[in-house]
A and B are shown apart, each in its own frame.
Chain A
């Protein structure tokens, strides 16, 4: 159980185009999903937190107009990189948190999406 998928697993696009990445919780409902960015040989940096049915909360320094997040259902969140540029090339990972009885912060991670902007 607790499987999170991402689509696509990798994408190459031209500079100036927009790219959408999907994150799905396959066997549980995710009230909260998280988007991370990881540069080579570095740790994960939280970009934003999205709660189903409400606006995402972005971390300081993350451009909300460039990285559009939509969490339209309890199993799907999307990240759209608008007007992508080479510096946006990175590994994007989503995670989803399953709310159990009691309080737990276990997050289940997707396999990641490799974005390369030419």
Chain B
């Protein structure tokens, strides 16, 4: 196991609702990235948090937002859910974004279904 834990593991929401997904990074890691993996696709970068600040964002609308806490755990919030938001959401933690060549460790993911 990677030491990266995500909650919940599965979630069903109705279109228009809001959702919060959580990620506990591996001990000592201060960088957390979030990815969306639609069925049959590779993970797509949503954004990254480094030392509690957003540090880079992919092509996702503003209704995707996040937080990183002082203990480096992180949340992903999605407002006004759409059917296309149904996916596996993965978080990945790494030792320090400023240190090149550090490996990222993935959590088990949260499978979100929007109905």
Q: Bound pair: A and B?
A: no
